[in-house]
Structure 1
Amino acid sequence: MSKATATRGRPLSPHLTVYRWPVTMTVSILHRVTGGALYFGTLLVAWWLIAAATSQSYFDFVNVIYGSWLGRLVLFGYTWALVHHMLGGLRHLIWDTGAGLEKHRASRLAWANIAGSVVLTVLIWIAGYAARGF
């Protein structure tokens, strides 16, 4: 039997170094990731509430952990995940009405989701520190 050889090379699939992710795909992935992170963050909120209901010393222990630089960083990330996921839900609500489905508008909404989540998170933390008198 003769063996046939291909005369032309097969086309290569786009690779990560060649393919540029659209912002809508990036925000969609972030929406899923933040949804998963909210499960972990909700456990932190539940731990804080349980500590508040248990005793003053245990509540102080949890507050020391949350007040450390690592705890504040985790809480900042949780706040951003919460705001980003909420804005992503609003973006989907807009799409459910049939508006914003054009490519340029969907990209604009995705960028607004990213920028809005960062700005709102910073504003929430500024308001929180202002309310505490820091």
Structure 2
Amino acid sequence: MAEAVKKSRPEFRNIGIGQIAKYRLPLAGKVSILHRISGILLFLLLPFSLYLFEQSLTSEISFDTLKGFFSNIIVKLVVLVISWAFAFHFFAGLRFLLLDTHTAVSKEGGRNTATVVLVLSSLLTIAIALKIFGAF
């Protein structure tokens, strides 16, 4: 009787290249992919970040030179991207640690924690952007 009620639906397990643009990920899946992207960005921009840190600690003259370097809009945008990547990677990492403890593993919990990660990282990035661009 259960077999008669069961609908026969096509089952597609593999996604082709042409279907990628039409495929809709849930919010938790998007956060997972963005966590990987932010980790890659942090890794690739690590030499730039270490260079800035090294220049800020070398001497007062190099610190003043670095302050002039930070007046460039491109550098400010790169620092903002680094800040977003760090904030997002940090909060998403906490989310995945929470998931590892089998907390909020349900569909609703995954959506809620993904939303929290996006909101917290966005708010922190906006606050950092306001500071970098001189709003406060």
TM-score above 0.5, yes or no: yes
Q: Which residue of structure 1 lines up, in the alignment, with residue 47 of structure 2?
A: 43
> What displacement does 1:56 show?
4.3
Q: Check whether the contact 1:48–1:59 (CA below 8 A) recurs between aligned residues.
A: no
1:74 equivalent among 78, 99, 115: 78
> What displacement does 1:109 show?
1.1
1:71 match: secondary structure: helix
CA distance in 2, matches of 1:22, 1:133: 35
Alignment of 1:88-103 (within 5 A): 88-103=92-107
> What displacement does 1:53 show?
4.0
CA distance in 1, matches of 2:45, 2:21: 34
Uncovered stretches (5+) of structure 1, i.e. residues with no partner: 1-10
CA distance in 1, matches of 2:62, 2:51: 10
Q: Which residue of structure 2 lines up, in the alignment, with residue 122 of structure 1?
A: 126
TM-score (structure 1 length as normaliser) = 0.74
> What displacement does 1:92 show?
0.9
Q: Which residue of structure 1 lines up, in the alignment, with residue 69 of structure 2?
A: 65
Letter in 2 for 1:22: P
> What displacement does 1:29 show?
1.0
CA distance in 1, matches of 2:98, 2:50: 31
Identity %: 27
Q: Which residue of structure 2 lines up, in the alignment, with residue 4 of structure 1?
A: none
Give the count of matched residue pairs: 121
> What displacement does 1:18 show?
3.3
Q: Which residue of structure 2 lines up, in the alignment, with residue 29 of structure 1?
A: 33
- CA displacement, residues 60-106 of structure 1 (integer Å, 9 cap, x when unaligned): 33332322111111111111110000001110111122111001210
> What displacement does 1:49 show?
2.7
Q: Check whether the contact 2:80–2:128 (CA below 8 A) recurs between aligned residues.
A: no
CA distance in 1, matches of 2:41, 2:21: 28
Q: Check whether the contact 1:23–1:110 (CA below 8 A) recurs between aligned residues.
A: yes
Q: Check whether the contact 1:41–1:78 (CA below 8 A) recurs between aligned residues.
A: yes
Q: Looking at CA atoms only, which structure, 1 or 2, has the larger radius of gyration?
A: 1
CA distance in 1, matches of 2:101, 2:26: 23
